[in-house]
Chains A and B, each alone.
Chain A
Amino acid sequence: MEMVLEAELEKKKKLSQSRLADKHIGRRNKKNIFFKGLIVTATVISTLPLLFILFYIFKQGVGALNWHFLTHLPNPVGEPGGGVSNALVGSIMILLVSCVIAIPIGIVIGIYLSEEKRSRLGYYCRLAVDVLQGIPSIVIGIIIYEWVVRPMGGFSALSGSVALALMMLPSIIKSTEETLKLLPESLKEASLALGVPYYKTIMKVIVPTGLSGILTGVILSIARVIGETAPLLFTAFGNPFMSTNILKPMSSLPLIIFNYATSPYNDWHQLAWGASMVLILMILILNIISKIVQRKWKVQF
């Protein structure tokens, strides 16, 4: 019996030796290098278009960009110069108002979803958020036109903000939910065990601990809607003059790009390129801020 076992062990040893002894190590290394090369090439190829786009916009836009461009109103056709100050102010105002609408609602829903993981309402809410995320922006524009613009009797920056807020909601909700879900249960227990009521535990322990994740989500959602044009066409409409009244039509960068780029005038094309570059720079800055927030405010356990 023992002899048989020994013989079997010997066989197994030999087998594994012959399999593991690598005669083909050279060939394998070559394969490795080949695959690595393939992956790197694929990455470069897919990054190149992005770099070309950025390069082209910078090339076209940098000529238009100067202090005058940022601080002056657009000139009538035929007059050289002019700027996009109204669109810049408009974009910022419309975004600020949509933040005021979307951030509190989004965070509250995100908290609910992370707390009530298995509730029926939570299930349908999650479904609704997914669907909302998939609705084309032009459809959102039409819906807000029906819901806000018509009842209010005219185009307004506020309706544009509502449309953008609706588009920001899904990503704020998702990032809040995902961030809070990752926090350990022990954190909540630690607070509850000290006799801290549930709502204070959420507001003073859970949310502050997940703040960097929530903020990152908020900033990225702003970066995503900052360039949305379609929903603003039916809502904020655009305005050739400086306006800070959110109940009146207001200009914004994407709108000005759309209007100028589709115009037949060369001067206006130039302005559209400049505005595109401003828009891209804003998105870039928002992304950098989100990275900084992520790194600096990261909570360590």
Chain B
Amino acid sequence: MESPILKATNFNAFFGKNHILKNINLEVHKNNVWAIMGPSGCGKTTFIRCVNRMHELVPNASVEGSLQLKGEEIYDMNPVVLRRKVGMVFQRPNPFPTMSIYDNVIAGYILNGIKLSKMERDDIVETSLKQAALWMEVRSTLHKKGTFLSGGQQQRLCIARALAMNPEILLLDEATSALDPISTSMIEELIQQLKAEYTILMVTHNMQQAARVSDKTAFFYLGELIEAANTKTIFTNPKHEKTQEYITGHFG
């Protein structure tokens, strides 16, 4: 078996004295879609925010243990370099309000001061928007502000912005929870297509979504990783009692 792209070994995360993540062990392989499920406050979001080190932006936040991206210790890397390799899409669409759609897509290059020729730029914008299934809708309005788009389109723009950097892993933090059902299904379809090239970690509250979209599912409860397996196994034959209770709707 090839080596995992993301590997957590005895990984812990804290906010001050609050122990948020307890001894997480998880291996994520290439081109898999992982759904991270669990009731509110169980640490799912904290976990993916540790992967691109956004966790540490909160004062008093700290981590212990090992989290590796392609064998490289994430907490030894420069966060700026790491975040270029790990794309993230947030709960609410957050395109840059001062930038056009075009500039939003290549924002990662513009803001980092990476010089691109016009052809390269056009290329990246077109492919990224096509990957995010937004190209057909915006190709005639590329130089309008990104905030003129609808919520669903804005979220796909944010996905395009993350994809433009060609990340190793794409993190989706409840990326569809603020969207209408049609936009949600478009993004779910998108995830299916994207997994050919990317590895995706998505936090979701929506169990149906986890069942529909993901290959693997990790179930978090009170900061612990209770169970991680193929999505089918988790939903049809969970090993752990808590998982069973959660997916049958007894709590959460």
Contacts and interface: CB of A to CB of B under 8 A. Distances in A.
B88 interface: yes
Nearest to A203: B111
Nearest to A198: B80
Nearest to B92: A186
B108 interface: yes
B193 to A, nearest CB: 22
Interface stretch (B15-23, B93-101, B232-240): B93-101
A195 B81 contact: yes
Interface string B61-105: 000000000000000000111111101101010111110000000
A195 B54 contact: no
A127 interface: no
A182 to B, nearest CB: 12
Given A194-B161, A195-B80, A299 B92 contact: no
A192 B97 contact: no
A189 B83 contact: no
Contacts of A197: 80, 112
A195 B92 contact: no
B147 interface: yes
B16 to A, nearest CB: 14
A300 B94 contact: no
B94 A209 contact: no
B111 A191 contact: yes
B249 interface: no
B57 interface: yes
B24 interface: no
A195 B165 contact: yes
A190 B96 contact: yes
A184 B90 CA distance: 13
A301 interface: yes
Contacts of B218: none
Contacts of A208: 98
A205 B161 CA distance: 15
Task: State which size class the interface on A falls in.
Answer: 20 to 34
B111 A194 contact: yes
Interface string A273-301: 00000000000000000000000000111
B108 A194 contact: yes
A224 to B, nearest CB: 28
B92 to A, nearest CB: 6
A197 B57 CA distance: 12
B84 A195 contact: yes
B57 to A, nearest CB: 7
A121 to B, nearest CB: 15
A193 interface: yes
Interface string B139-166: 0000001010000000000100110010
B107 A299 contact: no
A201 B52 CA distance: 16
Contacts of B158: 190
A14 interface: no
Interface string A34-70: 0000000000000000000000000000000000000
B98 A299 contact: yes
Given A186-B90, A299-B98, A195 B112 contact: yes
Given A193-B87, A194-B165, A200 B113 contact: yes
A21 to B, nearest CB: 43
Contact of B94 (A118, A187, A195, A200): A187
A13 interface: no
Contact of A301 (B59, B82, B147): B147
Contacts of B107: 191, 194
16 contacts: A184-B94, A187-B97, A189-B57, A190-B96, A192-B54, A193-B52, A193-B83, A194-B107, A195-B84, A195-B108, A196-B108, A201-B111, A205-B111, A300-B97, A300-B147, A301-B97
The 7 nearest A-B residue pairs measured at CB: A195-B84, A195-B83, A194-B108, A186-B94, A193-B88, A196-B111, A190-B94
Given A196-B112, A200-B112, 12 more contacts: A186-B90, A186-B92, A189-B90, A192-B57, A194-B87, A195-B82, A195-B84, A195-B108, A195-B165, A299-B97, A300-B145, A301-B147
Interface of A: 118, 184, 186-187, 189-197, 200-201, 204-205, 208-209, 299-301
